[in-house]
């Protein structure tokens, strides 16, 4: 099982035992406001199975984020295929109790490192709804640049990207 450690987080693959914690996050209207909306327990269980399958098929997917101090699963962050494209996108969803602590940025950097250094991806993208300023800030903090307005997952979004060489230059400087 893949696992990454950052200063404050463990990023590990999901297990079926994560259902209660992920459902707590996915059933919160404020947390899911800019994503796909709240999910049922059944939809959350299906999401975990889909995430596990993507790891098996592609050697990447969403990580379960475990807060080191609390030893609690507090969200997900990782890489997935962007809606109906071959592009790989950075995505995340966090328990709102842990917002505004830099944890999303920390997990996003770890996910980009995995994508560029382990998977050897050339480019990673991210999208955010225009009204989701907090997500845009995270995307910009990890070095992604705005490219265009677009439409994915039936929403109008801002589309960002970063190339491996740009990322390596930014991280090493």
Instruction: Give the sign of the dihedral formed by CA 79, CA 103, CA 66, CA 166.
Output: positive
Residues near 62 by Cβ (< 8 Å), separated by ≥ 6? 14, 51, 54, 76, 77, 78, 79, 80, 91
Model confidence over 46-72: pLDDT tens digits? 999 999 999 999 999 999 999 999 899
Query: Whole-structure pTM over 0.95, yes or no?
Result: no
Residue written as token pair 């939809």: 43
Model confidence over 98-155: pLDDT tens digits? 989 999 999 999 999 999 999 999 999 999 999 999 999 999 999 999 999 999 998 9
Average pLDDT over residues 40-46: 88
- The one-character DSSP state at 85 is S
- Bridge-based pairing of strands 72-81 and 123-128 is unpaired
Phi, psi of 152 (to 5 degrees): -140, 150
Phi, psi of 127 (to 5 degrees): -130, 155
Phi, psi of 3 (to 5 degrees): -155, 145
CA 119/CA 13 separation, integer angstroms? 16
pLDDT band at 28 (very low <50, low <70, confident <90, very high): confident
């Amino acid at each position: 099982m893949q696992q990454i450690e950052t200063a404050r987080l463990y990023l590990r693959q999901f297990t079926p035992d994560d259902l209660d914690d992920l459902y707590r996050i996915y059933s919160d209207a404020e947390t899911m406001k800019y994503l796909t909306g709240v999910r049922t327990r059944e939809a959350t269980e299906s999401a975990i199975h889909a995430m596990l399958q993507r790891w098996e098929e592609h050697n990447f997917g969403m990580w379960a984020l475990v807060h080191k101090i609390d030893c609690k699963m507090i969200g997900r962050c990782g890489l997935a295929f962007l809606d109906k494209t071959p592009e790989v996108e950075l995505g995340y969803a966090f328990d709102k109790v842990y917002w505004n602590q830099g944890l999303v940025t920390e997990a996003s950097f770890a996910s980009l490192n995995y994508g560029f250094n382990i998977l050897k991806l050339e480019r990673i993208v991210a999208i955010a709804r225009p009204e989701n300023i907090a997500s845009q800030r995270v995307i910009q903090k990890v070095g992604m640049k705005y490219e265009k307005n677009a439409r994915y997952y039936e929403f109008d979004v801002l589309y960002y990207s970063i190339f491996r060489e740009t990322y390596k230059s930014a991280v090493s400087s």
